[in-house]
Amino acid sequence: MRLKVSRSKNSASLYVTKTVYINKKERTITVEKLGTEVELREKLNGADPYEWAKEYIRKLNEKEKEQTRKILVPFEQSKIIPKDEQRSFNGGYLFLQKIYHELGLHKICKEISQKYKFDFDMNSILSRLIYSRVIFPSSKLATYELSKKFIEQPNFDLHQIYRALEFLAKETDFIQSSLYENSLKVSKRNTGILYYDCTNYFFEIEQEDGDKQYGPSKDHKPNPIIQMGLFMDGDGIPLAFSINKGNMNEQLTLKPLEKKIISDF
């Protein structure tokens, strides 16, 4: 960087300029306008503005040189890396964390925790389940292991994940209605048109149990299944879902969920 003085008939202006290369062509750009000679003399209480400007630019060049200097890291080939010590972490979930908090899921977890008085951290468990479902969908055990690679380490045990699922299932309606209300603060929802569809999930079991019943499987698996009905708004963003017995006619699942949407949303 260097000093440039632009003179006119009645004044002189001082600039900090720099030569750069854009598309292999040399160009001079203005980094900073320091002011006119008169302005600087007044600001510096009569001191020489040119000497001050040269010293100011010298310091700028020193800072730039400091920031671009090469750094040499000592390397010892004989040094042994400690065993079983985690040295790398996954930070790819942090953009999801922002959305998670914008939707108020941490506050929803707090209300559920206050209601049931359990001793584990519901917010920590639910957030890891969601992050892992987006990043690397897998089992609860694999999710637990994946969460150990995050920058923020989990403060729960594997068995507490399974306990948390019970309370999340109980509060499904509360979670869905709260999420809808919170989503309105994040984005406008297109509810002029609603889409509805069903799918089903099979279980590696042979005996029917509760909602897990034999029915027409979309995967053509000879196992008990459950059905899931999902409503989406006009932009394809989920609005509400319901879980139904595997042997239930899909067409009969629409009206109950429609009534629920009208009452809750």
Q: What is the pLDDT of residues 206-235, one digit of tens each?
A: 899 999 999 988 888 899 999 999 999 999
For residue 249, the model assigns a pLDDT of 87
The mean pLDDT of 171-200, rounded to a whole number, is: 91
Helix (H) or strand (E) holding 241: strand 238-245
Residue 164 phi, psi dihedral angles, 5° rounding: -65, -35
Residue 237 phi, psi dihedral angles, 5° rounding: -90, 130
Given a cut of 80, whether residue 258 has pLDDT beyond it is yes
The mean pLDDT of 48-61, rounded to a whole number, is: 91
Closest to 229 (Cα-Cα) out of 242, 213, 248: 242
For residue 199, the model assigns a pLDDT of 92
Give residue 235's domain range.
190-264
Residue whose pair of structure tokens reads 């709260």 in the numeric block: 178
* Domain annotation covers residue 54: yes
Domain boundary among 173, 207, 237: 173
Residues 25 and 63 in one domain: yes
Per-residue pLDDT tens over the stretch 8-37: 888 899 999 988 888 888 888 888 899 899
For residue 161, the model assigns a pLDDT of 95
Higher pLDDT, 257 or 143: 143
What are the structure tokens assigned to 60, written together?
């700028």
For residue 228, the model assigns a pLDDT of 92
CA distances in angstroms from 20 to 1, 24, 25, 29, 59, listed in the order given? 10, 9, 8, 7, 19
Residues 51 and 104 in one domain: no
Reported confidence tier of residue 117, pLDDT bands at 50, 70, 90: very high
Strand order in the sheet with 238-245: 195-202, 225-232, 238-245
For residue 131, the model assigns a pLDDT of 95
What angle is formed at CA 241 by the lines to CA 156 and CA 207, rounded to 5 degrees?
75
- For 199-234, b/e burial (b = at least 16 CB within 10 A) is ebbbeeeeebeeebbebeeeeeeeebbbbebebbbe
* Domain annotation covers residue 109: yes
For residue 73, the model assigns a pLDDT of 78
Given a cut of 80, whether residue 54 has pLDDT beyond it is yes
Residues 62 and 99 in one domain: no
